[in-house]
Amino acid sequence: MDLIDLSEGKVINKQWVVDEKLGEGSCATVYRVHDLNDPRVKAALKVEARSDDNYGVLKKEVDVMRKLQCRKNTVRVVYAARREYYSYVVMTLLGPNLMQLKKRCKANTFTAGTTDRIGIHGLYAIKQLHEIGFVHRDIKPGNMVIGRRGHEARIIYLIDYGMAREYAIWEEGYVRIRRKREHVLMRGTTRFCSPAVHARMEQGRKDDLWSLIYVLVELHAGLPWRGIAEKEIGIMKDKITDEILMADCPPEWIQIMKYIRTLTYESRPDYKKIYDLLISCMKRLNISFSDPYDWEINYDSKSSSQTTTPTPTTATAISKTKDKLNIKSIKDKKQLYDFPPTTDPKEFECNDIGI
Fold match, 17-91 / 98-284+344-349: no
Q: Which of 75-84, 137-146, 334-343 has the lowest mean pLDDT?
A: 334-343
**What residues are paired with 207 via a beta bridge?**
none
- pLDDT bin (cut points 50, 70, 90) of residue 1 is low
User: Topology of domain 17-91, per CATH?
Assistant: Phosphorylase Kinase; domain 1 (3.30.200)
- Across the range 244-248, mean pLDDT stands at 98
* Centroid of chain to Cα 58: 18
**Could you give the 3-state DSSP secondary structure of residue 85?**
coil
- Across the range 43-64, mean pLDDT stands at 85
Residue 242 has pLDDT above 50, yes or no: yes
Reported pTM: 0.89
Question: CA–CA separation, 82 vs 33, rounded Å?
Answer: 18
Question: CA–CA separation, 108 vs 104, rounded Å?
Answer: 7
Residue 311 has pLDDT above 60, yes or no: no
Distances (CA, A) of 48 to 16, 87, 199, 215: 16, 5, 30, 28
Helix axes 251-260, 205-220, angle to 10 degrees: 160
Q: Among 190, 247, 243, 239, which Cα is nearest to 222's?
A: 247
Q: Which of 11-15, 176-180, 272-276, 302-306 has the lowest mean pLDDT?
A: 302-306
Taking the domains of the chain in order of start, what are their residue ranges? 17-91, 98-284+344-349
Is residue 138 part of the annotated active site? The answer reads yes
Residue 305's pLDDT is what? Answer: 38
Residue 256's pLDDT is what? Answer: 99
Residue 325's pLDDT is what? Answer: 36
Q: What average pLDDT does the chain have? A: 89
Active-site option among 138, 160, 208, 291 = 138
DSSP 153: G
What residues have CB less than 8 Å from 307, skipping those under 6 apart?
A: 301
Residue 54 has pLDDT above 60, yes or no: no
Residue pair 68/128 in contact by the 8 Å Cβ criterion: yes
User: Topology of domain 98-284+344-349, per CATH?
Assistant: Transferase(Phosphotransferase); domain 1 (1.10.510)
Residue 340's pLDDT is what? Answer: 64
pLDDT, tens digit (0-9, with 9 covering 90-100), for 264-288 = 999 999 999 999 999 999 999 999 9
